[in-house]
Structure 1
Amino acid sequence: MTRRSRLDRARSFMRNRSRVGLRRSRSSLLPAVQITVGAVGAYAFAEQVLGHEGPLFAATSALIALGFSRDPRLRRVLEVGIGCTLGIAVGDVLLAVLGTGLWQAAVVLFISVLLARFLDSGTIFTTQLALQSLLVVLLPAPDGGPFTRSADAIVGGVIALLITMAIPRDPRREPKGDVRKLLGELSGVLRENSQALTSSDHTQAWHALIRARNCQPLMDGLSGSLRAATEVAQISPAYRRHRSELGELRGAIGFIDLAIRNSRVFSRRLTSVINHAALSDEAVQSLAQVIEDTADAVDVLALALHSVSTAERDQHLRRAREDLAAVATTLHPARLNVQRLEGEGLVILYRPLVVDLLQATGLSHDDAAGYLPKL
């Protein structure tokens, strides 16, 4: 590799890295404001109103509770407050029994970690309880007494909760964006299957299977963002009206998860069908078109679930439902010119995927399955 090519690659890497970093910074602007206001506000309240000297625990507890984690925020607030309080209490008790010193600090930390894991599985809770108990042993007690730090932690957690309730941030934004990404991947999986079928390329069908398997991290992230959004809608008066919409979104996501799982099964079987040339040219053309039509309907469903306008959402849902219903009515081997047994099995495997997607549009299972022709 020449020196010029290495320089070009380095410049390209820096451009891409800068672009990603700027995008991430822009999306983090509001959380950064929340963290700054929460941490500094908690410190100022504990110092100016409660009269605590150097209330560092108030700032740190607010910062941790308002952090960038996708875990539900209310859980973080409770873990921080309770973990700090218990950690300080445990530290004070062990300090009175064992005294101060390095080996005492080691014993306190060991006992605190085991106690935290016994009480709760949360990593933040364990970290907070262990850290606070360790600091109680290593640091001198403040002028207001040892439990001054516990009060500071509670102040930070309460202010974090108030900021979560007060900042005008639509809780639907993140899960709706995540579900659009997930459906975009499902649409891509279907289109790759259609192309693999048309070109008789079993390797591309295998790539579609790998892509479908890689949807699981997106699904996990979506579940976390939806839990966080539901918590905000429950505790924030400004967004309680969105609780029913988030409930409907949760139901749709459950069926989308099933559809993705069925897409993995279908992709795996498609690889075998292509290897054995089990479909005629007419069957390949018909089935490939059905898969493309399904992908188009998934794109419309993504627009529906991403929309914040009720009228727009209902319009897209109706169109997605109609398009998927049209696909479902063709899912019979004879209608798709499929004759061999292996090809018939492929069509039968595709039917549950379309039913799952129809249910994601709001249909019941019986109504969705009713569009399928009887075998």
Structure 2
Amino acid sequence: MEERLSTATGTVPHVASQPVRDRITTFLRRRWRAGLRRASQSVGQAAVTALAAVGAFWFAQAVLGHAEPLFAATALLVALGFTRGPRMRRVIEVSVGCTLGILIGDLLMLTLGRGMWQAVVVLFVSLMIARFLDPGAIFTTQMSLQSVLVVLLPSSADGPFSRSADAVVGVCFALLVTFLTPHDTRRGALHGLRSLYSPMVSVLRDLSTALRENESRTAWMALVSSRGTQAVIDDLRGELKQSREVTRYSPIERRRREYIRDVGTAVDRSDLAVRSLRIVARRVVSLIDHARLDDDATERLAAWFDEAADAVEVLHRSLGEPGAAGRHQALAGARDALGAAAARLDPARLGGGSVHGEALIMLLRPMIVDLMEATGARHEDAVACLPAL
């Protein structure tokens, strides 16, 4: 017989603890796999960064004639960092901080000389200037770090401001890499959309199943699943923010500006729809628990949730169309499918004459309007698809 443990809400199976050696082995195996995955995903970026750093060093050495232009490579590496898809604002912010820090270090060293107390003065002045110019911690850190390195490292044989010129070279190379490196803005958006709409479709189908089977637990699990989409939406908005920035400055990705704009509109309106869906799921749980609907109304509502799920799937596929013409045509089809579902949201007919059923229909109406606006429909046109009250 299976051994079980008592808890406040029931019993759970007893799971024997793993030996320490097995836990260590499992931990190391997971770390190994995660490390391989990160390394394989970073091969391209690592190659570009390495080539650009060495290229900046070579340019400062061969063209400017500097003997040891270490700050050219340093400034580039600091500016680019190693984040996925470097943002232009971050690159500019770090670049300015790095270059200013080196320039301030050169100026103060030329004025005060070299030594420990001079390093203290340089670091203090750099920190104060950095805090005055920008509230960002990255800007302050880079500016103060570079300035104190200039004072502490041996003087350059190429003159007092040669390291500032090297930093400018590194920054220019970093900006050039940021401009010309291709960024697959569409892939991140597609992944985020799949993570948003797939759970949404599942929730709608689970609500349909819960009504047909008169099982409130299924509706409750749908509610829990819908709550988990908020983190997905927040991540997708962050992805879209970065994509907008990339399409704004990158000549390679500029052609995707309209696509990112369409996806952004869909995400904003779908966020509102998901919020309404959570309220709907709670209402369905209550309706099932208290048997507020007759069999005919239950079947009609279950069929409506299936229809809405089909329409959301069409919306999801439409946003995956790469071409503007094909996407707009597909979104028009999604708009028609959602409009057909909206046309059935008559509280008196679909609600089965029950006050509680009619209240559920009233909650579904703003949700379907938000989904229609996600296809690009105007608010007035979406509302016009609803039956008059």
| Structure 1 segment 67-146 matched on structure 2, within 5 A | 67-69=81-83, 73-92=87-106, 100-101=115-116, 109=123, 112-113=126-127, 115-146=129-160
How many aligned residue pairs are there? 373
Partner of 1:235: 249
Tell me the alpha carbon deviations over residues 198-244 of structure 1, each in whole angstroms, 9 at most, x when there is no partner.
Answer: 44454544443443333333323323332332333333334333323
What is the CA distance between 1:164 and its match in structure 2? 3.0
Q: Which amino acid aligns with 2:336?
A: E
Inter-CA distance 237–326: structure 2 relative to 1 (3 Å threshold):
same
Inter-CA distance 169–93: structure 2 relative to 1 (3 Å threshold):
closer
Within the candidate set 176, 183, 191, 2:205 is matched to 191
Q: Secondary structure at the match of 1:331?
A: coil
Partner of 1:354: 368
* Comparing 200-209 and 253-262, the one that deviates more: 200-209
**What is the distance in 2 between the residues matched to 1:289 and 1:317?**
23
CA contact (8 A) 1:297 1:320 kept: yes
Structure with higher Rg: it is 2
| 1:266 counterpart = 2:261 | no
Inter-CA distance 21–268: structure 2 relative to 1 (3 Å threshold):
farther
| 1:45 counterpart = 2:92 | no
**What is the distance in 2 between the residues matched to 1:53 and 1:217?**
51
Q: Which amino acid aligns with 2:115?
A: T
What is the CA distance between 1:300 and its match in structure 2? 2.2
| Structure 1 segment 148-227 matched on structure 2, within 5 A | 148-227=162-241
* Comparing 29-38 and 59-68, the one that deviates more: 59-68
What is the CA distance between 1:97 and its match in structure 2? 5.8
**What is the distance in 2 between the residues matched to 1:54 and 1:220?**
45
**What is the distance in 2 between the residues matched to 1:284 and 1:257?**
27
**What is the distance in 1 between the residues matched to 2:240 and 2:191?**
11
| 1:296 counterpart = 2:299 | no
CA contact (8 A) 1:34 1:66 kept: no
Q: Which amino acid aligns with 2:193?
A: V
| 1:306 counterpart = 2:336 | no
**What is the distance in 2 between the residues matched to 1:92 and 1:44?**
22
| 1:282 counterpart = 2:296 | yes
**What is the distance in 2 between the residues matched to 1:246 and 1:325?**
24
What is the CA distance between 1:139 and its match in structure 2? 2.6
**What is the distance in 2 between the residues matched to 1:189 and 1:145?**
68
What is the CA distance between 1:85 and its match in structure 2? 2.0
CA contact (8 A) 2:273 2:370 kept: yes
**What is the distance in 2 between the residues matched to 1:261 and 1:334?**
24
* Residue segments in structure 2 that go unaligned for 5+ positions in a row: 1-15
CA contact (8 A) 2:351 2:358 kept: no
Tell me the alpha carbon deviations over residues 244-301 of structure 1, each in whole angstroms, 9 at most, x when there is no partner.
Answer: 3332332222212222232233334444444433333333332233223222222222
Q: Which amino acid aligns with 2:263?
A: L
- TM-score after normalising by structure 1: 0.83
**What is the distance in 1 between the residues matched to 2:124 and 2:220?**
49
**What is the distance in 2 between the residues matched to 1:94 and 1:214?**
54
Inter-CA distance 27–269: structure 2 relative to 1 (3 Å threshold):
farther
Inter-CA distance 337–225: structure 2 relative to 1 (3 Å threshold):
closer
| Structure 1 segment 8-47 matched on structure 2, within 5 A | 23-47=37-61
* Comparing 142-151 and 88-97, the one that deviates more: 88-97
Pairwise CA RMSD: 3.4
**What is the distance in 2 between the residues matched to 1:57 and 1:182?**
44
Relative contact order, CA 8 A, sep 6+: which one is greater?
A: 1
* Comparing 239-248 and 200-209, the one that deviates more: 200-209
* % identical aligned pairs: 48
Q: Which amino acid aligns with 1:30?
A: G
Inter-CA distance 248–91: structure 2 relative to 1 (3 Å threshold):
same
Q: Secondary structure at the match of 1:334?
A: helix
Inter-CA distance 41–325: structure 2 relative to 1 (3 Å threshold):
same
Inter-CA distance 17–340: structure 2 relative to 1 (3 Å threshold):
farther
What is the CA distance between 1:82 and its match in structure 2? 0.7
* Comparing 81-90 and 352-361, the one that deviates more: 81-90
Q: Which amino acid aligns with 1:100?
A: G
**What is the distance in 1 between the residues matched to 2:124 and 2:357?**
61
Q: Secondary structure at the match of 1:85?
A: helix
Inter-CA distance 283–245: structure 2 relative to 1 (3 Å threshold):
same
* Residue segments in structure 1 that go unaligned for 5+ positions in a row: none
Inter-CA distance 292–185: structure 2 relative to 1 (3 Å threshold):
same
CA contact (8 A) 1:176 1:306 kept: yes
Q: Which amino acid aligns with 2:317?
A: L
Inter-CA distance 318–224: structure 2 relative to 1 (3 Å threshold):
same
What is the CA distance between 1:328 and its match in structure 2? 0.7
